[in-house]
Amino acid sequence: MKRLTQYAHGGGCACKIPPGELEDVVAGLGTVPDAPNTELIVGLDTGDDAAVVRLPGSRGGLAAVATADFFTPVVDDPYDWGRIAAANALSDVYAVGGRPLVAVNLLAWPRGVLPFDLAREVLRGGLDVAAEAGCHVGGGHSVDDPEPKYGMAVTGVADPAALLRNDAGKPGVPLTLTKPLGIGVLNNRHKATGEVFEHAVAAMVKLNREASAAALEGGAVCATDVTGFGLLGHLCKLARASGVTAVVDAAAVPYLDGARESLRAGYVSGGTRRNLDWVAPHTDFGGASEEDRLLLADAQTSGGLLVAGEIPGEPIIGELTPAGEHPLLIR
């Protein structure tokens, strides 16, 4: 079987444009000020996970959620890549407290290089995860591209009075992380060696549906998902948007088996190092080692939810406090 990861310059969400560069690109860009049919509730301002608009005339109030996500192969198995990419795209809807309704595929394929039977397996993987989520897949769009890429544009619904936003964090609230970190270094090791880490695949294909529902049921109003910017990158955005300081207990953060060993062996992606460079000026690292800093900045693909609130059975990794000198504090 062709190794799909060898046809990509990077892998998964580690291919994201670095957060600092992205903020420079979108600075000053706004939305249509007089859209006649909807009210924009969540937009570009805080870099939240999805756009949310209030729909007029809906009984009891209803909001539409829109997002898109796609990336290069993160694993060699095409079916697993499709499942991971779909779970990752759906995650943005769950991260704002929504429910996905319909998705369309986004596929870029080097048609003269890779056979279409592999592309079919990618699409089958995406379809199966969407079915698990109760989300229709209604076609999509494809282009001939030198580098394979796959993902989905997803539309969902949410209660506008019960959203999870990245700008709603309050001091005194614990921070809960619903999936362990380390996906980035394990994926990088897979790309370099061909070793398969089934527990990493299992983590990536797991939907954040139950975590989102539990957060809402527990009264949470603030959350984000942890993907390409790493725990520290996404938490920094949340802390800045909420006007608080996020304190992370490094010893409480869970990691996938083999993650620390893979880091020590040198399997660190460029995306992870860019994440760390970006958060460094905004972070008091205390006595955290370079190893811990890199793991906390590890570029995740289809990671868990980071919730300002407590979710039964999930690890609490820190808390939000009144704003201090830095948005992030590692202890």
DSSP 26: H
Q: How far apart are CA 325 and CA 289, in angstroms?
A: 21
Separation of alpha carbons 98 and 86, rounded Å: 16
Distances (CA, A) of 263 to 188, 273, 296, 297, 298: 10, 12, 11, 12, 10
CA 150/CA 129 separation, integer angstroms: 14
Half-sphere exposure of 178 (CA within 13 A, CB side): 30
Q: Which of 13, 15, 222, 236 is catalytic?
A: 13
Reported residue count of the chain is: 331
- Residue 29 has a CB neighbour count (10 Å cut-off) of 7
User: How far is Cα 209 from Cα 94, in angstroms, rounded to an integer?
Assistant: 6
Q: Determine the 3-state secondary structure of 262 from DSSP.
A: helix
Token pair of 104 as six digits: 């369309």
Alpha carbon distance 294, 299 (integer Å)? 9
Tokens of 128: 């199966």
Contact 144, 116 (CB under 8 A): no
Question: Is 13 labeled as catalytic in the residue annotation?
Answer: yes
Task: Give the C-alpha distances (Å, rounded to integers) separating 245 from 42, 171, 306.
Answer: 22, 8, 15
Q: Which residues are catalytic?
A: 13
